[in-house]
Every structure is written in structure tokens, then in C-alpha cells.
């Protein structure tokens, strides 16, 4: 992942739900040392950034297309509106999936734990030394 690609990969708020979904890139191999692990991490990051670059490029193209259509005809505006709705639906769906996932992972456990009391916080602090 180069600095150049990082600078080019500025993320907008509307990209976040889509890009926040992990699972596109496999976990890096652990290797035989911390150095080997870090090399594998760098390769995974490069792959991740490459995926993000593709998404970013597609978004820019989509934005340009929208502007051109809007400038030309009312029909273009209608298409843009539909695209915005689709984008909103996609974002809502991404949020729903993320919430479902979070609920599955944490819901019951977090609820069972309840609020952290001062006494509990103190006990943890003592355990840490």
C-alpha cells in the first residue's frame, strides 16, 4: 500500500458502510516469526487498498456520470434520483447487516453483563496491578 494510493483513497461518509464490511481479504498467514507475519500483513493491506481503489474509481466515474446526466436532461435527473435511492437502499441494507451481525455477536452477552459498576472497575484495576 503506497502513500500515493493512500492519499488517493480518501473515504467519503457514503463509502463507509460499504467499505466497513470486512471479509474481502483473507487473514494473513502467521509465518514463523513476527517479521514474517508483518510481511504477510503488508501483502494483505496492499490487497485491501487495491480493492478500495477499485471502489473509489467506480464512485468517481458514477459521480461524473450523474453530473453529466443532470446537466443534459430531466430524464438524467430522474435516473440520478433512482441511483440515489438505490444507494440509500444499499446503505440501509449494509447497516441492517452490520446491526444483525453485531446483535448476533454481542447482544445477549452484553445484555447479560449489564452496566459496569464502580466496584467491578476497582476489582479489575486491582487485578491489573
In the bound complex, what is the minimum distance in angstroms from residue 68's beta carbon to other proteins? 19
In the bound complex, what is the minimum distance in angstroms from residue 89's beta carbon to other proteins? 12
In the bound complex, what is the minimum distance in angstroms from residue 21's beta carbon to other proteins? 5
Please say which residue, 73 or 99, places its beta carbon nearer to other proteins: 99
Q: How far apart are CA 64 and CA 15, in angstroms?
A: 16
**How many CB atoms are located within 10 Å of the residue 56 CB?**
19
Please say which residue, 20 or 72, places its beta carbon nearer to other proteins: 20
Cβ neighbors of 76 (< 8 A, separation 6 or more) are 66, 68, 69, 70
Residues near other proteins (CB under 8 A): 1, 3, 6, 10-14, 16, 19-28, 30-34, 37-38, 41-42, 44-45, 47-49, 51, 88, 91, 95, 97-99, 101-103, 105-106, 110, 113, 115-116, 120-121, 124, 126-129
Tally of CA atoms within 13 A in the half-sphere of 41 that contains its CB: 7
Amino acid at each position: 500500500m503506497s502513500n500515493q494510493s493512500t492519499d488517493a483513497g480518501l473515504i467519503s461518509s457514503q463509502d463507509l458502510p460499504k467499505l466497513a464490511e470486512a471479509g474481502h481479504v483473507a487473514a494473513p498467514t502467521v509465518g514463523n516469526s513476527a517479521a514474517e507475519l508483518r510481511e504477510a500483513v503488508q501483502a494483505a493491506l496492499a490487497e485491501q487498498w487495491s480493492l478500495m481503489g477499485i471502489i473509489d474509481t467506480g464512485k468517481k466515474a458514477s459521480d461524473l456520470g450523474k453530473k453529466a446526466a443532470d446537466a443534459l436532461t430531466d430524464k438524467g435527473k430522474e435516473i440520478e434520483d433512482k441511483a440515489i435511492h438505490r444507494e440509500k437502499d444499499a446503505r440501509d441494507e449494509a447497516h441492517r447487516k452490520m446491526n444483525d451481525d453485531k446483535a448476533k455477536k454481542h447482544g445477549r452477552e452484553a445484555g447479560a453483563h449489564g452496566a459496569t459498576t464502580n466496584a467491578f472497575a476497582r476489582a479489575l484495576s486491582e487485578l491489573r496491578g
